[in-house]
Amino acid sequence: MRHVRHLAGRIGTRVRAHRGERRAALYVASRFRRLGYRTKIRTFPVDGATSRNVVAWWPGASRYPVVVGAHMDTVPGAPGANDNASGVAVLLETARLVAGKRQARFLRLVAFGSEEYGANGAHHVGSQSFVARLGPRGRRKLAGMLSIDMVADGRPLLVGSFGIGPRALGRLAYRRVRAAGIKARYTTLCDCSDNGPFERAGIPAGFMYSGPEPNYHSPSDTPRNLVPRDLVRSGRAAKAFVKALRRDLVRRLRRH
């Protein structure tokens, strides 16, 4: 909740390629670095300006691991507590929990910019930039991607995929979440999160999402309107997925 309050309260609206998004990127990067991760802020053009992704990895991590990501930006006028400071908070706490542990070798942690629609009608620009940067070899070898998006206001937790790429990772995430005793439902959803560009590139990808809620894209998407127990639930779900990562599992995902 401290991360949510900082992003949605102290920083507030984080429209892509604007000052708020840049401040969020600096905040996230500083947290990764404090934990010991190697961290880069990678810029890309959007709407005639500059947006950015924050990419972190543990020293010695696999070159083609599983990406766990969450978008930092918001629509104009929305503080974005649930959409998506909640996902970024889960990403940062996951980084803290696995820092220096075996699972960190199989992860790339990414806070994406420019997920929301912009002036030119494009969305998921940050994740598309990340996928393009992989190149053909990287897109063939990357083990998979999990997007954590809007996860603090709804039950059961929805876990699944966009449904156009390999579904192995979404199904794996669902099984691990259920095995951890968390109420979840597997579903196929629209192209509405950062897993979309990965799936379109043939990379196994999935998402965690807590479902529709009344403060979506609204000035009322504030920290006080979150459900903290749902945020905790989603953090436990991400932890269950990450704890399952090991070398043979990552290799199996790559074969899909």
For 209-250, the pLDDT digits (tens) are 999 999 999 999 999 999 999 999 999 999 999 999 998 888
CA distance 14 to 22: 8
Do 37 and 111 form a contact (C-beta atoms < 8 A)?
Answer: no
Residue ranges making up the domain that contains 56: 2-255
pLDDT of residue 217: 97
Interval 137-156 mean pLDDT? 95
Share above pLDDT 90 across residues of the chain, in percent, rounded to a whole number? 90
Interval 133-152 mean pLDDT? 96
3-class state of residue 134 by DSSP = helix
Q: Is the pLDDT of residue 251 over 90?
A: no
Do 130 and 53 form a contact (C-beta atoms < 8 A)?
Answer: yes
With CA atoms as reference, report the closest residue to 193 among 176, 172, 210, 178: 210
Structure tokens at 63: 């070159």
Neighbours of 248 (CB within 10 A): 6
For 91-117, the pLDDT digits (tens) are 999 999 999 999 999 999 999 999 999
Interval 180-209 mean pLDDT? 95
3-class state of residue 215 by DSSP = coil
Q: Is the pLDDT of residue 37 over 80?
A: yes
What total of structural domains would you count in the chain? 1
DSSP state, 93?
H
For 41-51, the pLDDT digits (tens) are 999 999 999 99
CA distance 118 to 17: 10
Q: Is the pTM of this model over 0.75?
A: yes
Do 136 and 156 form a contact (C-beta atoms < 8 A)?
Answer: no
Q: Is the pLDDT of residue 124 over 80?
A: yes
CA distance 137 to 119: 32
Instruction: Please give the sequence-ordered ranges of beta strands (E in DSSP) within the chain, or none if there are none.
Output: 38-46, 49-57, 66-71, 107-112, 144-148, 157-161, 184-188, 205-209
CA distance 57 to 185: 30
Give the CATH number for residue 99: 3.40.630.10
189 confidence band (pLDDT: 50, 70, 90): confident
Looking only at Cα atoms, what is the longest distance across the chain? 46
183 CB burial (10 A radius; 0-12, 13-18, 19+): exposed
- The DSSP string of 177-236 is HHHTT--EEEEE--S-STHHHHHHTT--EEEEE----TTTTSTT--GGGS-HHHHHHHHH
pLDDT of residue 252: 87
Interval 16-37 mean pLDDT? 98
pLDDT of residue 60: 95
CA distance 70 to 130: 13
pLDDT of residue 119: 77
State in Å, rounded, how far the first CA of the chain is from the last one.
36
pLDDT of residue 46: 95
Q: Is the pLDDT of residue 118 over 90?
A: no
Radius of gyration for the alpha carbons in the chain, expressed in angstroms and rounded: 16
Share above pLDDT 70 across residues of the chain, in percent, rounded to a whole number? 100
Q: Is the pLDDT of residue 255 over 80?
A: no
pLDDT of residue 142: 96
Mean confidence (pLDDT) of the chain: 96
pLDDT of residue 5: 98
36 confidence band (pLDDT: 50, 70, 90): very high
